Structure 1
Amino acid sequence: MKTKLLYFIITTITSFNLYSQNNRPQEPKEPFEYISENVVFKNNLDSISLAGTITYPKMGSDFPAVILISGSGPQDRNSELLNHKPFLVLADYLTKRGIAVLRVDDRGTGESEGNYNETGLNGFVNDTESAFEFLKTRKEINHSKIGLIGHSLGGIIAPIIASEDTDVSFIVILAGSGIRGDKLMLLQKEIIERKMGVPEIGITQGQNNMKAAYDIILKSNENQTELQVELKNYFTKVFGAMLPESQIQTISEQMSIPWLTDFIKFDPQTALSKTKCPVLALNGANDLQVPSKENLETIEKILKENGNEDVETKQLENLNHLFQESKTGLPNEYATIEQTFSPKALEIIAEWIKQRTE
């Protein structure tokens, strides 16, 4: 029983040691039908350089544009995971339909400077705002038609920026949360464990154990070292008979990194309530990491209650957290699915953007 209680102590920091297929039929190959240019720009607030790729059609000008914002964990400009490159596939699809795309290496990843795990949510917001200002310098871009597409954690960052900057033309939230981080992580843990067949007594005990840990984070100040010590003491008390000290230390370190503690404390409704630009929110019905029903309903409710009249939400059948067509939605499927990004989802995103920028 003890080992069963340890499933998914932390579900947002996951290492997938899985067999990963190499066949990715959607991945575009050079030569491309459009301009693909590697770029570097400055985040002056944090004094770092960020690197990425901008793509735009060969013919014409004054293009609408989007910035792609990745989910949690340091990712390169293609948001590469398990041989999938979803941001490359998404950028290729949109650019072929007349929409310029900027995708960026997360700080500390690829060719971008900085340290991801020493950064809070505000740092990621600053990075995306810097990308936004960079696009305004590009002569190919219609500066009044620049939007944001955020996946998962990026779906939280996009409304933060849109709520503060009226120059943001629109946002697309892909598997973004509408509920506070601690509540999302508990819901995610419960749903995944139940799908895996963990006994109900184990699920209940796991909820109680992790809720107490999140409560420590919710009450904490900004001192990362003190929080890490407090979490280690707590996990030693709860799991000391089942886990080696080194593992408890690792868990405590992971749960006290700035962006994760910010996420646990952050309620997306604070930004959504102030977001007035057009919003498209998509979730897969098989998304076990950001369950669609609870989050889409909350996102739509908050936006509309606060006067946003251009809101569209869609639950897409059979799609998982990565927007792949899936059977179970469990993370252990991600690597084995050949599809990188559902064609249906790609079409919905492109058509919605074109309707609001043409």
Structure 2
Amino acid sequence: MKKILAFVIVFTLSNISLFSQDISGDWSGIAKKGSKEITFVFKIKHENSKYLSTMSVPTFRVSGIKPTTTTFANGKLIIDGSNVGMKYEGSFNSKANQFEGIYKEGGVELLLNLKKGSIKIDEAKRPQEPIKPYPYYEEEVVFKNNEANISLAGTLTLPNKNGKFPVVILISGSGPQDRDETFMGHKPFLVLSDYLTKQGIGVLRFDDRGQGESTGDFGNATTEDFSKDVLSAISYLKTRKEVDVKNIGLVGHSEGGIIAPLVANNSKDVAFIVLLASTGILGEELSVIQSKTFRQFPVKDEVAYEKNTRKAIAIVTSNKSDVEIENELTAHYNNFIRPILTSLNVPEDKINLFIEGQLKTSLKPWSRYFLQYNPADEIEKLKIPVLSLNGSKDTQVNAKMNQDGIRNALIKGGNKDYKIVELENLNHFFQECKTGRMDEYRKIEQTFSPTALKEISSWILQKI
């Protein structure tokens, strides 16, 4: 999976203290974004004359991110995580004994210096997270997706080591996720898993391909590829004597909620599904809405902005060659986005970085698939029980619009065993909140609303 260049020893007088040895170990630093400090830790290993690295962001309690390549030559460290949308480039300063460079992610560029050793930060209080020893059975597991030739690592929790139990598979949202769906200092899947297992429902949760202990290439995977990982999880559960194979269910959050119907329609072994903050509209429509909702700059003409956004999507989803699409999209962004940012006095280098980030995101296989995927088409085919929950203050996935899409698809398909609930004052991660905005997630002590947890478990227990 990883193509990593060999370590090159450079015998220069000024840097011989570093270059005469490898750079294995932890390298950490703090970058500033406005008034916020973000801690990064890179664990670098030297194996067979090559470097491998794993990135953690303790500030957000994110770990196990595996960049594609790590190279060190002539005093320059490059950690290329194009598979997850990041890159770090730094040069070694022998006087300061640190790498000094730039961390890039999407259109964001941060100054980041790395020193040898790790940094610990104070953990925010998360009272819902369980503390070991747990009052149930827990096992670390690994299963294969033979078609993709990858191994997926996860955790299986069961009410008891002995017996036969219903089991649900948790399916994470978009972006590289670990088995706990760690995000903004919270571990929602850990809390959900703990709650369900205590209610008598087994849970399998796993690291996304290429993340944590799982192998594979996340950056070139699509929603359909992720659905095949879940199908592999179902196959694995069927080999376990503790699993009631007639009661295997799927619980998908956000993108996981559009993966779940795709999986269920390609398996005879799914008994029910739970959609959490799932969409029910065409990917293109969601993308247009989010591009306006989360845009970080003002525009004078919203109609023209939407028209140009749709034009960009049309280019991305066309049947032209990759080279033609990239050339057309580059020209379009330069004609469309550059004048807007220039009028706002954004420096040219920042504009170039923003457009570069937009291009990388737009051209990923995931984006091209997602924009053309309509979850309603798969939801319409479902003949199994469905629970759909959305938060009324979800700013990422509008509850009413998307639940209307889900409801209409179920009615059109003739499914009579479904329940759709909009939960008051909950955000995209089902936290009780004030605004629902993304910058609020980390500030909230609660990880998962007890109301939502009870709604999920009670419905599942009625269906098994």
Shared fold, TM over 0.5? yes
Which residue in the other structure is 2:317 paired with?
218
Cα–Cα, structure 1 residues 199 and 225, in superposed 2: closer, same or farther, change >3 Å? Answer: closer
Cα–Cα, structure 1 residues 316 and 213, in superposed 2: closer, same or farther, change >3 Å? Answer: same
Runs of 4+ that moved beyond 6 A: none
Report the secondary structure of 1:240's partner residue: helix
Give aligned pairs, total: 340
Report the secondary structure of 1:130's partner residue: helix
Q: Provide the C-alpha distance between the structure 2 equivalents of 1:217 and 1:100, rounded to a whole number of angstroms.
A: 41
2:220 paired with 1:118 = yes
Larger relative contact order (CA 8 Å, sep ≥ 6)? 1
Q: Is the 8 A contact 2:392 2:424 kept in 1?
A: yes
Q: Is the 8 A contact 1:69 1:151 kept in 2?
A: yes
Which residue in the other structure is 1:178 paired with?
280
2:386 paired with 1:276 = no
Q: How big is the shift at 1:51?
A: 0.3
Q: How big is the shift at 1:147?
A: 0.6
Q: Provide the C-alpha distance between the structure 1 equivalents of 2:158 and 2:264, rounded to a whole number of angstroms.
A: 23
Which of 156, 161, 169 aligns to 2:271? It is: 169
Q: Provide the C-alpha distance between the structure 1 equivalents of 2:405 and 2:309, rounded to a whole number of angstroms.
A: 23
Report the secondary structure of 1:261's partner residue: helix
Which residue in the other structure is 2:370 paired with?
263
Cα RMSD after superposing both structures: 2.2
Q: How big is the shift at 1:254?
A: 1.1
Cα–Cα, structure 1 residues 356 and 225, in superposed 2: closer, same or farther, change >3 Å? Answer: farther
2:244 aligned partner, one-letter code: N
Q: Deviations over 1:128-165 (max 9, x none)?
A: 10011111111111001001000111100000111222
Q: Deviations over 1:287-320 (max 9, x none)?
A: 1111000111110111122111101100001111
2:238 paired with 1:136 = yes
Q: Provide the C-alpha distance between the structure 2 equivalents of 1:51 and 1:169, rounded to a whole number of angstroms.
A: 23
State, as a whole percentage, how many aligned pairs show the same letter. 45
Which ranges in structure 2 are unaligned for 5 or more consecutive residues? 1-105, 111-120, 343-347
Report the secondary structure of 1:116's partner residue: coil
Which residue in the other structure is 2:73 paired with?
none
Which residue in the other structure is 1:285 paired with?
392
Q: Is the 8 A contact 1:180 1:268 kept in 2?
A: yes
Which residue in the other structure is 2:411 paired with?
304
Which residue in the other structure is 1:340 paired with?
447
2:248 aligned partner, one-letter code: I
Report the secondary structure of 1:313's partner residue: strand
Q: Provide the C-alpha distance between the structure 2 equivalents of 1:165 and 1:14, rounded to a whole number of angstroms.
A: 39
2:239 aligned partner, one-letter code: T
Comparing 70-79 with 269-278, greater Cα deviation is found at 269-278
Q: Is the 8 A contact 1:217 1:265 kept in 2?
A: no
Which residue in the other structure is 1:326 paired with?
433
Superposition TM-score, scaled by structure 2 size: 0.69
Which residue in the other structure is 1:6 paired with?
none
1:282 aligned partner, one-letter code: L
Q: How big is the shift at 1:226?
A: 4.2
Comparing 127-136 with 50-59, greater Cα deviation is found at 50-59
Q: Provide the C-alpha distance between the structure 2 equivalents of 1:22 and 1:224, rounded to a whole number of angstroms.
A: 44
Report the secondary structure of 1:40's partner residue: strand
Report the secondary structure of 2:287's partner residue: helix
Q: Provide the C-alpha distance between the structure 1 equivalents of 2:463 and 2:254, rounded to a whole number of angstroms.
A: 23
Which of 118, 121, 135 aligns to 1:33? It is: 135
Q: Is the 8 A contact 2:107 2:355 kept in 1?
A: no
Which of 196, 201, 216 aligns to 1:94? It is: 196
Q: Is the 8 A contact 1:71 1:152 kept in 2?
A: yes
1:76-91 paired onto structure 2 within 5 Å: 76-91=178-193
Between Structure 1 and Structure 2, which shows a larger proportion of strand residues?
2
Which residue in the other structure is 1:9 paired with?
none
2:337 paired with 1:239 = yes
Report the secondary structure of 2:307's partner residue: helix
1:219 aligned partner, one-letter code: S
Q: Is the 8 A contact 1:236 1:245 kept in 2?
A: no
Report the secondary structure of 2:265's partner residue: helix
Q: Provide the C-alpha distance between the structure 2 equivalents of 1:35 and 1:109, rounded to a whole number of angstroms.
A: 24
Q: Is the 8 A contact 1:119 1:259 kept in 2?
A: yes
Report the secondary structure of 1:164's partner residue: coil
Report the secondary structure of 2:219's partner residue: helix
Report the secondary structure of 1:352's partner residue: helix
Cα–Cα, structure 1 residues 78 and 230, in superposed 2: closer, same or farther, change >3 Å? Answer: same
Larger radius of gyration: 2
Report the secondary structure of 2:250's partner residue: strand
Between Structure 1 and Structure 2, which shows a larger proportion of helix residues?
1
Which residue in the other structure is 1:207 paired with?
306
Superposition TM-score, scaled by structure 1 size: 0.89
2:230 aligned partner, one-letter code: T
Report the secondary structure of 1:282's partner residue: strand
Q: Provide the C-alpha distance between the structure 2 equivalents of 1:143 and 1:153, rounded to a whole number of angstroms.
A: 25
2:316 aligned partner, one-letter code: I
